[in-house]
Amino acid sequence: MTAHADENGDLSEGLPRKKFSGKKLVLFVILPLVLLIGAGAGIYFSGVLDMLLGTGEEEHAEPVPEPQVAAIPIFYDLPDMLVNLNSDSRRPAFLKIKISIQVSKPEDIPAIEHVLPRIVDNFQVYLRELRLEDLKGSAGMYRLRQELLIRISAAAHPVKVRDVLFREMLVQ
């Protein structure tokens, strides 16, 4: 074999030079570059780079506020209610319920007493449409609590009612 000189003066062994095909170029050059750039961006945006380099935001010692003592809950007992449930059978079904509500401030009690007829009316209308199946299980009790909370919040609007609590519930 004789060596031939190229235009650039390179000696070649007479073998033709192979160029990268498009698939090999993508596989060996572009794909690793994309992966490196993606990994770098992921590290940068996750904040790991700041921790590794020690250039993260330093925590400033701020005075820790003292934990506030939880306010004493204020409860108001609604009058007992006895309603006839919606039943398909000839035998009537009754619900006797005693409810307490939790309000945010003691000043809310007079506002609740002022709209008490509206609250009782909203409860009566809703409770009379219930069926025995609606009250079964803990899911039924939870739904009833949520519905009553929605209705009392609407009736006593400026007053913030935190919770509806069942003192007694009897279904006959």
Q: What's the whole-number average pLDDT of the chain?
A: 80
The pLDDT score that the predictor gives to residue 12 is 53
* Residue of higher predicted confidence among 8 and 128: 128
Helices (H), 84-134: 108-114, 116-128
Residue 95 has pLDDT above 80, yes or no: yes
Query: What does the alpha-carbon distance between residue 9 and residue 13 come to, in Å, rounded to a whole number?
Result: 13
What's the confidence (pLDDT) of residue 100? 92
Question: What pLDDT shows up at residue 96?
Answer: 92
Query: Among 3.90.1200.10, 3.30.479.30, 3.40.50.300, 3.40.140.10, what is the CATH number of 74-171?
Result: 3.30.479.30
Greater confidence, 67 or 115?
115
Residue 42 pLDDT > 70, yes or no? yes
Give the helix ranges, DSSP H, for the chain: 22-25, 31-46, 48-53, 108-114, 116-128, 137-155
Of 128, 123, 125, 127, give the one whose Cα is nearest residue 161: 123
Give the burial string for 71-89 (b: 16+ CB within 10 Å, else e): eeeeebebeeeebebeeee
Q: What is the mean pLDDT of residues 14-29?
A: 69
Tally of CB atoms within 10 A around 123: 22
